[in-house]
Amino acid sequence: MATTQSSRPVTPAPPPPLFPATLGQSDRARQIADPPISYFIRQAVENPNLISLAAGLVDAESLPVAEVTSAMAELLGDPEAARAALQYGTTQGYLPLREKLLARTVAMDGLSSEDLSLTPEDVVVTSGSQQLLYLVGETLLDPGDLVITEAPSYFVYQGTLASQGARILSVPMDEEGMDTAALETVLARLQRTGELDRLRLVYVCDYFQNPSGRTLSLARRRHLFDLVRRFSRQRRILIVEDAAYRELRYQGADLPSLKSLDRENEWVILAMTFSKAFAPGLKTGYGFLPRGLIDPLLRFKGNHDFGSNNLAQHLAARLLETGAYDRHVDQLRQIYRAKRDVLQTALAEQFGRPGSPCPGLRWTHPNGGLFIWLTFPPGVDTGPEGCLMQAALEEGVLYVPGEFCYVNGEGGPIPTREIRLCYGVASPDQIQEAVRRLARAAARLGK
């Protein structure tokens, strides 16, 4: 131990406090719900033989050890670059990284940054895209403000929004993503009830959605973009486009981002991340912000941390520069495509033919991402206290109950016969075994 050690202090015992004071918490702290993740951690601890298709982690074997090793060696081998990476950065993020992220992202839509009125000054680097989503809420939402999400939606962000006092309305989805006709109905109703001016955000995960795997169709993208413009009054209704899974496309053509429709950079916040298509351990996300949003958002970020991990940002810039990032994404696509196919095939084998333990079970067939969404026949309760979960835990498989992905309100009662399966973490063998276990669990339901 190199620090100077003091000798053990001889402190006279202080008198006891006069009152048995409690720790106390802020009002917001008392209102934050325990996140659903706690449920899964508890199950995993109590059932060590469980195969989890619940956790939204990524494939461990394919994590980019070689790419990071080589880029880090280059970075640290250049003393000036190394020192810059180990010093403080800026709150907004490392400029060369922001430049590369901008160029890369607009190129996905076949556009230039000028086409979208974007400059590196509209880009912010955050501690994962989750921090960006948090900051967006702090910057734009007052308690009681309205946010519209898809039903089902990404449960972590629903929890975040609720913790920030937002009231969440949700709009049903179908195979084309958010039902924008239903959205229009909701908007028209808010207009009638005078609540339209409390609506701040429409949040969509529009590529291979977490949790359903669905992608918003091009026609719906245009409709959605048109709607927020048409229904905005004093304040803009902004779209938050969470494109975390966009790069994990395994088949089919890419679709233009919602951001690509926003030529004046006024309506769409685009959130992206290195976590899914590269490595979560870098905890590096990034956002493209409508004009005027960056300054107030950076004031919050300045108070949070005055800038995300600088070493990771310098590393990320180098990974983009050398093409290592792109090569790794290509590899990941092969790996996840294969795992998705294993899961689809196993579902078809176990549930898709005569004699299925659960006739009527349906599931999504996403072209990318990490998730498949199953809808059981009426009468099956997939909830944490339901019969299916009980049987699944006994058989040794864990899923995310669909009801965790809904908020109360709008479209009647929350559906309780859906589940989310993630093929990110489990190996192909484990995926097959997990589906066999799920089939055995389903087979026990009728008994």
What is the footprint of a copy of itself within residues 245-304 (CB under 8 A)?
247, 249, 253-256, 260-261, 266, 275, 279-283, 290-293, 296, 299-300, 302-304
Question: Does residue 192 interact with a copy of itself by CB under 8 A?
Answer: no
At residue 401, φ and ψ (nearest 5 deg) are -60, 130
Question: Does residue 236 interact with a copy of itself by CB under 8 A?
Answer: yes
Q: In what order do the strands lie in the sheet with 371-375?
A: 362-363, 371-375, 418-422, 400-401
Q: What's the sign of the alpha-carbon dihedral 177, 418, 213, 409?
A: positive
Judged by CB under 8 A, the residue of 42, 189, 235, 365 near a copy of itself is 235
CB of 208 to a copy of itself, least distance (A): 13
CB of 186 to a copy of itself, least distance (A): 18
CB of 146 to a copy of itself, least distance (A): 13
* Token reading at 34: 């325990």
Distance CA 296, CA 123 (A): 13
Q: Which is nearer to a copy of itself, 138 or 176 (CB)?
A: 138
Of residues 98-157, those binding a copy of itself (CB under 8 A): 104, 107-111, 127-128, 130-131, 134, 138-142, 145, 156
Tell me whether residue 339 is exposed, middle or buried, using C-beta atoms within 10 angstroms of its C-beta: 0 to 12, 13 to 18, 19 or more: buried
Measure the N-to-C terminal CA separation of the chain; round to a whole number of Å. 64
Of residues 43-72, those binding a copy of itself (CB under 8 A): 57-58, 60-61, 63-65, 68-69, 72
Q: Which is nearer to a copy of itself, 33 or 348 (CB)?
A: 33
Of residues 413-442, those binding a copy of itself (CB under 8 A): none
Q: Are 204 and 364 in contact (CB under 8 A)?
A: no
Q: Are 389 and 383 in contact (CB under 8 A)?
A: yes
Q: Which is nearer to a copy of itself, 294 or 346 (CB)?
A: 294
Of residues 203-222, those binding a copy of itself (CB under 8 A): 218, 222
Judged by CB under 8 A, the residue of 88, 194, 378, 446 near a copy of itself is 88
CB of 398 to a copy of itself, least distance (A): 17
Q: Which is nearer to a copy of itself, 12 or 412 (CB)?
A: 12
Judged by CB under 8 A, the residue of 21, 194, 408, 412 near a copy of itself is 21
Of residues 309-368, those binding a copy of itself (CB under 8 A): 309-312, 314, 323, 326-327, 329-330
Give the three-state DSSP class for 10: coil
Residue owning tokens 């000028």: 114
Q: Which is nearer to a copy of itself, 144 or 377 (CB)?
A: 144
Distance CA 285, CA 272 (A): 6
CB of 35 to a copy of itself, least distance (A): 5
Q: Are 213 and 369 in contact (CB under 8 A)?
A: yes
* Token reading at 246: 């966009």
CB of 88 to a copy of itself, least distance (A): 4
Question: Does residue 194 interact with a copy of itself by CB under 8 A?
Answer: no
Q: Which is nearer to a copy of itself, 314 or 339 (CB)?
A: 314
Residue owning tokens 């490392």: 94
Question: Does residue 167 interact with a copy of itself by CB under 8 A?
Answer: no
Distance CA 425, CA 61 (A): 9
The closest alpha carbon to 188, from 228, 148, 231, 237, belongs to 231
Question: Does residue 193 interact with a copy of itself by CB under 8 A?
Answer: no
Q: Are 376 and 416 in contact (CB under 8 A)?
A: no
In angstroms, the Cα distances linking 364 to 307, 405, 439, 442 are 39, 16, 17, 18
Q: Which is nearer to a copy of itself, 210 or 350 (CB)?
A: 210
Size of the site for a copy of itself (CB under 8 A): 126
